[in-house]
């Protein structure tokens, strides 16, 4: 059984010294990006995503053989965005600060997804939320033994963003729906099995792979193929048939009813996990995932930006981040959903708080 805990490690309390946390160099025709805020699990701040955007824009005209993205610590590739700051922006009545962060972050996601140079994400440890946005859109996603990958936004009253509405519907069957709603955690074998990762490399080899790519003039896919090993058995695939049967509905109630009818231990645990997170987040997530099928990354990111302007101001978001990341009592009190559906253009229909 996969861990569908609502825990979200983004935005830890321990703060880094006053540094941006991004190093970018070009070595032997390879652009190298190092995420270096290890105490904060490389949680993305506004200065970080703006630097990443500026670097990738500058490199778009360079004749690079590849671009690598790695972390200075095997503990985490990137635990997501500094979502506690987004919550604080809401409390301070400054949604513009959050809009600045999300706009720059989504620009980074689009640049990675449209890069002419193949992007190679070297991912070990925690990779959640915004960490997937830095890795999944590139051509090569190389994962290590310690990978813990998830989109756990429903546990904090948000929704899977950073282009998740583009990549989750493209996973096999209803796996993307399952991952987006439950926040289930994946190891290396699961990530390779569903296509979120392209290669598995032992962690000790992964630690030096960026240097190896920069030093080797051969095509990057040749270097990766030599380093890769089989990741082993995927626990997620053991439940693939159940996932496809139960997560194919058009509404959250459809999914919950299907899980109840399934009647297995896995289905009961999954239904309980969905019952513990924000109903509003589940509704927003499912509607966006269904709407986004077949649409471009750019269109999906634009829809996510518009959706986030509603959700980041909602009581469920403020409460969810409080419970998971601020007070850490993990006992959120969810309010009624303000979500009222989605238009053909991907605009959320939204009620006012208290109505």
Active site residues: 81, 130, 153, 161
Token reading at 221:
């896919």
* 3-class DSSP state of 287: helix
Q: Give the Cα separation of 90 and 103 in Å (integer).
A: 16
Given CA atoms 182, 81, 301, 32 in this order, what sign does their dihedral have? Answer: negative
- DSSP states of 175-235: HHHHHHHH---B-HHHHHHHTS-SEE--HHHHTTHHHHHHH--S-HHHHHHHH-------T
Token reading at 348:
């959320």
Instruction: Tell me which residue of 142, 140, 144 sits closest to 119, measured CA to CA.
Output: 140
* 3-class DSSP state of 168: helix
Q: Give the Cα separation of 178 and 65 in Å (integer).
A: 36
The neighbouring-strand residues paired with 123 are 143
**Residue 82 Ramachandran class (φ > 0 left, ψ -120 to 50 alpha, else beta):** beta
- 64 touches 26 (CB < 8 A): yes
116 CB-near residues (< 8 Å, 6+ apart): 60
Secondary structure string (H, E, C) spanning 8-64: CCCCCCCCCCCCCCEEEEEECCEEEEEECCHHHCCCECHHHHHHHHHHHHHHCCCCC
Q: Tokens 């701040």 appear where?
A: 45
């Amino acid at each position: 059984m996969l861990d569908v805990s609502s825990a979200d490690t983004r935005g830890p309390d321990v703060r880094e010294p006053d540094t941006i946390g991004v190093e970018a160099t070009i070595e032997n025709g390879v652009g190298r990006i190092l995420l270096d805020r290890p105490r904060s699990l490389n949680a993305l701040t506004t200065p970080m995503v703006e630097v990443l955007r500026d670097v990738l824009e500058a490199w778009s005209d360079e004749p690079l053989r590849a671009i690598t993205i790695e972390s200075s610590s095997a503990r985490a590739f990137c635990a997501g965005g500094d979502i506690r700051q987004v919550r604080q922006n809401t409390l301070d009545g400054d949604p513009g600060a959050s809009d600045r962060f999300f706009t720059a972050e989504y620009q980074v996601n689009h640049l990675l997804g449209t890069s002419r140079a193949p992007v190679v994400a070297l991912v070990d440890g925690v990779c959640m939320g915004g960490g997937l946005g830095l890795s999944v859109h590139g051509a090569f996603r190389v994962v290590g033994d310690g990978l813990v990958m998830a989109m756990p936004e429903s546990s904090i009253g948000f929704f899977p963003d950073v282009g998740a509405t583009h990549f989750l519907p493209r996973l096999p069957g209803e796996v993307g729906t399952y991952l987006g709603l439950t926040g289930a955690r994946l190891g290396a074998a699961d990530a390779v099995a569903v296509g979120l990762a392209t290669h598995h490399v032992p962690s000790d080899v992964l630690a030096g792979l960026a240097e190896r790519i920069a030093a080797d003039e051969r095509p990057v896919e040749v270097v990766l193929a030599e380093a890769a090993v089989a990741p082993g058995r995927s626990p997620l695939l053991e439940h693939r048939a159940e996932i496809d049967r139960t997560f194919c509905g058009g509404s959250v109630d459809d999914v919950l009813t299907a899980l109840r009818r399934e009647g297995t231990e896995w289905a009961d645990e999954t239904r309980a996990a969905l019952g513990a997170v924000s109903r509003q987040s589940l509704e927003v997530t499912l509607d966006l995932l269904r709407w986004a099928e077949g649409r471009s990354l750019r269109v999906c990111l634009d829809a996510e930006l518009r959706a986030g302007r509603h959700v980041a101001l909602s009581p469920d978001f403020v409460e969810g981040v409080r419970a998971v990341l601020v007070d850490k009592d993990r006992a959120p009190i969810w309010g009624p959903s303000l979500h009222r559906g989605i238009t053909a253009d991907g605009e959320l229909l939204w009620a006012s708080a208290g109505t």
